[in-house]
């Protein structure tokens, strides 16, 4: 078609509804009336014309409505009383709404209107969680953790106890894009995955996409976890915190200028090291005393925001977190630390009622360092990845049937891979190694949310991404489409397709996600990873035993290409030729997820089940192949995953929570046999050699665990006497692993020995047998936390 005719056709197509009836635009920002926090995903609905929309990530909404017609606009959001306004539009109108907290809804999560929005929306394969739910559910050692709770949703298995990785729909642990206020967080974990880096008191919203990725997201294949920090109460000074057995936290927020600017500061720190230091000090000088190692972590979230007039808003936020492990004695000085630093500067600008923009500059730094000094010798190993990103997004309400989103981003990456320095103090011995890279990643996207008919909504878009590094340039087109067909008011069908490209990769030869894993760029040899994912499913709202429940059922199929693995026996440590150890192949994953939610009444919660199968193979590289290119299951190929989550309001004072999870055991690569070499010339080690068959053929025992908690509200009598009393507190008792299930962290084969004698009568240790043993991490773990807010 001739370009001019094409443009004319598109203009007519998009304008046709505008010509049919005069319309004006209602726009504004929806906030929490008490704190001034913008509300993400708040629903705006006009029943008379069956038109609706939701607020974007910045609390902004824009909707085209008929002119000169009395309309009732309903605003709703989880946990808030619905708000209604009667309007008659005679021109574009700005209407900001401050939502009031529902008196009867304050303690109960109600999702009725958001269910309607889910039934209407083209979004699928997405999970969200509120901080209220997180605080009701059991927590490890009293630390509520939003990232741990989201893993209770179907399709999001974790790597297991003591590990940090997320393996979403068959994807690897590096295939998750985790952003905090739009800055990438490369390692979102403290203490090897026991806790995440997200302080629940500072988080406003968390959304996890497992598929159907909107075009504004790119750079990872398998999931997007978008975490938004609170902005700070711009009405009054307030705070919250908690004292636990291993850590404490405090959040302070308030206006800088009421209704115009505010701040929030939220920090956490463990204090186990303060106790161990005192113990070590007391034991100084004791013979054969071995000092207890030091460990602590801290994180700090800070944010300030300024309303620069009616159309502009500026936000500045930062995250600083670190884990520090140390061990010192007279001869040994060992340190191991890792952590993230992120900062974000964001400017929102409203050009007009139909056009809103967000421009962000972010900085992100993740690094770890291991150092050791012994007498006369020192050693230091560190790796880091550092990003600077500039992006801009536009949100345009084209007409009542079309909402456009478009934008661009550019990220500069700096990689330091395995920088090693070792040597003697006198300089006689020295060794160094490591590599440094940099690269630039680009993204350009456009999408349209199109209401094709009252029943059919389609979101179609395209993302163009690229990466350049040292003269090598890659690019990829990423089509994205999602559709929603509303069969009835309580049943809808959905489908989506998304192609993703990934240009940075996690180097890990372990089956776990550890802080020492290293990020590596695409290079001439290492091509970008690619995925294509199709998902279909449906949602239904219905009554079960007289109670309203929401059912979601999805099926997905994902193809993975240019996957990276390692040649058997790969040497990753201080290897300047790391790429030679890589092999490249492909894979696929498919499965189904079903979830049943109940959000009304005293008992709320959900049951989720996931079935999935994952295969990877066809791996070849510079040094050879893996299993002659045959396909195999990765360690995280868990066939079944079940989670049962319940929250029960016993009465005004007591609330209980419980979670039970079950998962098929991870796969393990254990030796199937053993053999003996005769003395190998030049060798001075045992001649017994384990022989391994195909990768990952042993399945560990199933993983299951029950966690319980009880929340006891304090000071209720005082509150009744003085309803304006601001201080609220509770005691939370948590028990993790309530029936003391010893889940396998890993299994190994251990040789048993007995004393015997050799031919000359000398005492030696003789092997008598081999036993399979499992190592497990979590015993039953109780915890007590005092929480407060004012």
Partner 1 sequence: MKNISLFVVCSILLIFSCREPIDFPRPAHQPELAVLAQMDQEGASVFLTETLDSRDNSQSPLVADAAVRILNGSNEYPLPYDTGVAQYQSFDLIPESGKSYDLIIEKEGFGTLKSSVVMPPPVAIENIEIELFDSIFLDTSRSRLSYLFSLELDDEFAAPDFYEITTNFGGFTSIEINDTTSVLASTRLFPNILPAKDSNPIELEKNSIFFVEGGKSSFIEFIAEFDFGKEEYAEKVSITLKSTTLDRFNFRSSQIAQQNADDDIEFILNPILIQSNIENGHGFFEVAHIVTIDKDMP
Q: Scanning residues 299 to 338, which ones bind partner 1 (CB under 8 A)? A: 325, 334, 336
Among 124, 514, 589, 783, binds partner 1 (CB under 8 A): 514
| Shortest Cβ 598–partner 1 spacing (Å) | 36
CA angle, 41 then 594 then 82, to 5°: 25
| Shortest Cβ 565–partner 1 spacing (Å) | 9
Q: Which of 222, 225, 224, 220 has its CA nearest to residue 503?
A: 220
| Shortest Cβ 287–partner 1 spacing (Å) | 23
Q: Does 516 bind partner 1 (CB under 8 A)?
A: yes
Measured distance CA(99)–CA(364) in Å, rounded: 34
The stretch among 253-261, 264-272, 537-545, 746-754 that binds partner 1 (CB under 8 A) is 746-754
**DSSP string for 731-743:** EEEEEESTT----
The stretch among 356-364, 445-453, 757-765, 776-784 that binds partner 1 (CB under 8 A) is 776-784
What's the first-to-final CA gap in the chain, in angstroms? 64
Could you tell me the CA-to-CA distances from 108 to 112, 147, 521 in Å, in that order?
Answer: 12, 21, 46
- Positive/negative CA dihedral, 770, 771, 774, 775: negative
SS (H, E, C) 159-228: CCCCCCCECCCCCCCCCEEEEECCEECCCCEEHHHCEECCCHHHEEEEEEECCCCCCCCCCCCCEEEEEE
User: Which tokens is 473 given?
Assistant: 């340039």
| Shortest Cβ 536–partner 1 spacing (Å) | 35
Per-residue x/- track, 567-606, partner 1 (CB under 8 A): -xxxxxxxxxx-----------------------------
Measured distance CA(581)–CA(567) in Å, rounded: 6
Neighbours of 653 (CB within 10 A): 12
Among 726, 768, 784, 790, binds partner 1 (CB under 8 A): 768
Measured distance CA(735)–CA(739) in Å, rounded: 9
Compare residues 4 and 686 and give the one whose CB is closer to partner 1: 686
| Shortest Cβ 764–partner 1 spacing (Å) | 15
User: Which tokens is 381 given?
Assistant: 């190993």
Site for partner 1 in 620-659 (CB under 8 A): none
The stretch among 236-244, 486-494, 546-554, 773-781 that binds partner 1 (CB under 8 A) is 773-781
**DSSP string for 50-89:** TEEEE--TTSEEEEEEETT-EEEEEEE-TTB--EEEEEE-
| Shortest Cβ 678–partner 1 spacing (Å) | 4
Among 100, 309, 376, 779, binds partner 1 (CB under 8 A): 779
Q: Does 375 bind partner 1 (CB under 8 A)?
A: no
3-class DSSP state for residue 48? Answer: helix
What H or E segment, with its residue span, contains residue 718?
Answer: helix 716-721
Compare residues 162 and 211 and give the one whose CB is closer to partner 1: 162
Q: Does 745 bind partner 1 (CB under 8 A)?
A: yes
Compare residues 691 and 762 and give the one whose CB is closer to partner 1: 691
| Shortest Cβ 337–partner 1 spacing (Å) | 11
Measured distance CA(400)–CA(18) in Å, rounded: 8
Site for partner 1 in 427-486 (CB under 8 A): 429-433
Compare residues 565 and 597 and give the one whose CB is closer to partner 1: 565
Neighbours of 143 (CB within 10 A): 26
- Kindly state the DSSP code that residue 527 receives in the 8-state scheme: P
| Shortest Cβ 30–partner 1 spacing (Å) | 45
Compare residues 208 and 700 and give the one whose CB is closer to partner 1: 700
- Kindly state the DSSP code that residue 143 receives in the 8-state scheme: B
Among 33, 668, 710, 719, binds partner 1 (CB under 8 A): 668
Compare residues 474 and 698 and give the one whose CB is closer to partner 1: 698
Q: Does 519 bind partner 1 (CB under 8 A)?
A: no
Among 379, 555, 620, 662, binds partner 1 (CB under 8 A): 379
Compare residues 283 and 774 and give the one whose CB is closer to partner 1: 774
Measured distance CA(483)–CA(480) in Å, rounded: 10
In a 13 Å sphere around the CA of 108, the CA atoms on its Cβ side amount to: 20
Among 300, 777, 782, 789, binds partner 1 (CB under 8 A): 777
Measured distance CA(323)–CA(325) in Å, rounded: 7
Among 155, 157, 162, 646, binds partner 1 (CB under 8 A): 162
Site for partner 1 in 677-716 (CB under 8 A): 677-678, 680-686, 688-692, 695, 697-698, 700-701
Q: Does 536 bind partner 1 (CB under 8 A)?
A: no
Site for partner 1 in 380-409 (CB under 8 A): 381
- Positive/negative CA dihedral, 166, 170, 175, 179: negative
Compare residues 6 and 429 and give the one whose CB is closer to partner 1: 429
The stretch among 174-182, 534-542, 728-736, 745-753 that binds partner 1 (CB under 8 A) is 745-753
| Shortest Cβ 775–partner 1 spacing (Å) | 5
Among 461, 511, 587, 617, binds partner 1 (CB under 8 A): 511
| Shortest Cβ 783–partner 1 spacing (Å) | 15
Q: Tokens 């690094």, residue? A: 367
Compare residues 256 and 772 and give the one whose CB is closer to partner 1: 772
Compare residues 67 and 777 and give the one whose CB is closer to partner 1: 777
What H or E segment, with its residue span, contains residue 701?
Answer: none
Among 630, 653, 725, 742, binds partner 1 (CB under 8 A): 742
- Positive/negative CA dihedral, 56, 61, 66, 71: positive
Burial label for 670, CB within 10 Å (0-12, 13-18, 19+), is middle
Measured distance CA(381)–CA(515) in Å, rounded: 13
Q: How many residues bind partner 1 (CB under 8 A)?
A: 83
Compare residues 193 and 239 and give the one whose CB is closer to partner 1: 193
Phi (first) and psi of residue 41, to 5 degrees: 80, 15
Among 88, 547, 672, 757, binds partner 1 (CB under 8 A): 672
Looking at the chain, how many residues does it have?
790
Measured distance CA(613)–CA(556) in Å, rounded: 11
Compare residues 102 and 665 and give the one whose CB is closer to partner 1: 665
The stretch among 390-398, 481-489, 587-595, 662-670 that binds partner 1 (CB under 8 A) is 662-670
| Shortest Cβ 523–partner 1 spacing (Å) | 19
Determine the distance from the C-alpha atom of residue 699 to the mean position of all C-alpha atoms in its chain, rounded to a whole number.
27
3-class DSSP state for residue 380? Answer: strand
Among 62, 636, 746, 785, binds partner 1 (CB under 8 A): 746
| Shortest Cβ 540–partner 1 spacing (Å) | 40
């Amino acid at each position: 078609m001739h370009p001019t005719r094409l443009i004319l056709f598109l203009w007519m197509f998009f304008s046709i509804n505008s010509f049919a009836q005069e319309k004006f635009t209602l726009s504004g920002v929806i906030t929490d009336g008490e704190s001034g926090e913008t509300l993400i995903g708040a629903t705006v609905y006009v029943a008379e014309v069956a038109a609706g929309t939701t607020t974007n990530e910045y609390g902004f909404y824009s909707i085209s409505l008929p002119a000169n017609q009395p309309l009732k606009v309903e605003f709703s959001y989880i946990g808030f009383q619905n708000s209604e306004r009667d309007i008659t539009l005679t021109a574009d109108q700005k209407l900001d709404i401050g939502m009031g907290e529902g008196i009867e809804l304050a303690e109960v999560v109600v999702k009725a209107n958001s269910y309607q929005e889910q039934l209407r929306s083209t979004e699928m394969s997405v999970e969200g969680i509120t901080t209220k739910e997180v605080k009701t559910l059991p927590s490890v050692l009293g630390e509520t953790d939003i990232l741990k709770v989201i893993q209770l949703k179907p399709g999001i298995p974790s790597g297991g106890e003591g590990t940090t990785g997320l393996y979403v729909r068959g994807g690897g642990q590096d295939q998750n894009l985790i952003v905090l206020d739009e800055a990438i967080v490369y390692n979102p974990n403290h203490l090897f995955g026991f806790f995440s880096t997200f302080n629940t008191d500072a988080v406003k919203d968390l959304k996890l996409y497992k598929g159907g990725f909107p075009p504004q997201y790119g750079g990872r294949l398998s999931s997007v976890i978008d975490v938004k920090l609170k902005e700070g109460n711009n009405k009054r000074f307030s705070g919250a915190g908690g004292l636990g057995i291993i850590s404490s936290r405090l959040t302070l927020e308030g206006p800088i200028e009421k209704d115009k600017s505010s701040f929030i500061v939220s920090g956490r720190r463990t204090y186990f090291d303060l106790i161990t230091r005192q113990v070590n000090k007391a034991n100084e000088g004791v013979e054969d005393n071995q000092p207890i190692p030091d460990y602590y972590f801290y994180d700090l979230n800070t944010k300030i925001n300024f309303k620069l007039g009616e159309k502009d808003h500026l936000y500045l936020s930062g995250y600083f977190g670190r884990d520090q492990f140390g061990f010192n004695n007279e001869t040994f000085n060992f340190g191991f630390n890792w952590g993230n630093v992120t900062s974000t500067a964001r400017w929102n600008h409203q050009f007009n009622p139909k056009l809103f923009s967000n421009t962000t500059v972010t900085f992100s730094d993740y690094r770890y360092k291991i150092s050791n000094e012994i007498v006369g010798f020192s050693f230091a190993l560190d790796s880091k990845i550092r990003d600077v990103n500039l992006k801009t997004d536009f949100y345009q309400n084209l007409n009542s049937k079309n909402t456009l989103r478009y934008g661009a981003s550019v990220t500069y990456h700096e990689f330091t891979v395995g920088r090693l320095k070792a040597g003697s103090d006198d300089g006689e011995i020295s060794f160094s190694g490591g590599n440094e890279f940099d690269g630039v990643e680009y993204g350009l996207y456009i999408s349209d949310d199109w209401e094709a008919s009252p029943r059919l909504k389609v979101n179609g878009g395209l993302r163009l991404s690229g990466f350049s590094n040292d003269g090598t340039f890659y690019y990829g087109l990423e089509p994205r489409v999602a559709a929603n067909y509303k069969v009835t008011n309580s049943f809808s069908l959905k489908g989506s397709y998304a192609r993703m490209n990934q240009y940075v990769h996690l180097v890990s030869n372990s089956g776990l996600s550890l802080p020492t894993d290293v990020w590596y760029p695409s290079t001439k040899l290492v091509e970008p990873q690619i995925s294509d994912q199709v998902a279909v499913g449906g949602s239904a709202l219905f009554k079960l035993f007289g109670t309203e429940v929401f059912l979601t059922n999805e099926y997905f199929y994902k193809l993975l290409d240019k996957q990276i693995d390692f040649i058997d026996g790969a040497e990753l440590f201080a290897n300047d030729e790391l790429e030679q150890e890589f092999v490249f192949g492909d894979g696929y994953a498919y499965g189904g997820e079903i979830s049943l939610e109940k959000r009304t009444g005293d008992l709320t919660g959900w049951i989720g089940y996931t079935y999935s199968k994952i295969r990877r193979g066809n791996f070849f590289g510079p040094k050879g192949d893996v299993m002659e290119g045959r396909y195999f299951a990765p360690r995280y190929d868990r066939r079944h995953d079940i989670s049962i989550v319940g929250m029960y309001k016993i009465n005004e004072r007591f609330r209980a929570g419980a979670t039970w999870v079950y998962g098929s055991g991870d796969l393990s690569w254990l030796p199937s046999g053993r053999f003996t070499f005769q003395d190998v010339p030049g060798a001075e080690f045992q001649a017994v050699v384990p022989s391994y068959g195909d990768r990952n053929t042993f399945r560990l025992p199933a993983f299951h665990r029950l966690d319980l908690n009880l929340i006891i509200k304090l000071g209720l009598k005082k509150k009744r006497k003085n309803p304006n009393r601001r201080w609220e507190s509770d005691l939370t008792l948590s028990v993790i692993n309530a029936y003391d299930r010893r889940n396998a962290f890993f299994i190994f084969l251990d040789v048993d020995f007995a004393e015997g004698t050799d031919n000359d009568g000398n005492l030696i240790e003789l092997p008598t047998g081999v036993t399979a043993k499992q190592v497990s991490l979590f015993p039953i773990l109780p915890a007590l936390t005092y929480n407060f807010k004012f």
